[in-house]
Amino acid sequence: MSYQSHYFKEVREAQSKAYAPYSRFKVGAYLRTKDGRTFHGANVENAAYSMAICAERSSLVAAISEGYKPGDFESITVTVDSDKPSSPCGACRQVLKELCDDDMPVYMTNHKGEMIKSTVNELLPLGFSGKDLN
Ligand code: THU
List pLDDT tens digits, range 92-109. Answer: 999 999 999 999 999 999
pTM: 0.97
Nearest to 28 by CA among 20, 16, 19: 16
Number of H helices, E strands in the chain: 4, 5
Examine residue 29 and state whether it is found in any structural domain, yes or no. yes
Residues 7-52: tens digit of each pLDDT: 999 999 999 999 999 999 999 999 999 999 999 999 999 999 999 9
Question: Which of 26, 40, 43 is the best mutation target for the ligand 1 pocket, counting ligand atoms within 8 Å of the beta carbon and taking the most?
Answer: 43
Which amino acid is located at 42 in the chain? A
Q: What CATH number does the domain containing 9 carry?
A: 3.40.140.10
Q: 99 and 57 in contact (C-beta within 8 Å)?
A: no
Instruction: Mark whether 122 is an active-site residue.
Output: no
Confidence class for position 73, pLDDT limits 50, 70, 90: very high
Question: Which of 15, 78, 89 is the best mutation target for the ligand 1 pocket, counting ligand atoms within 8 Å of the beta carbon and taking the most?
Answer: 89
Supply the range of the domain harboring residue 63: 3-121
DSSP run (H or E) holding 84: none
Examine residue 39 and state whether it is found in any structural domain, yes or no. yes
Alpha-carbon distance of 69 to 49, in angstroms, equals 30
Examine residue 131 and state whether it is found in any structural domain, yes or no. no
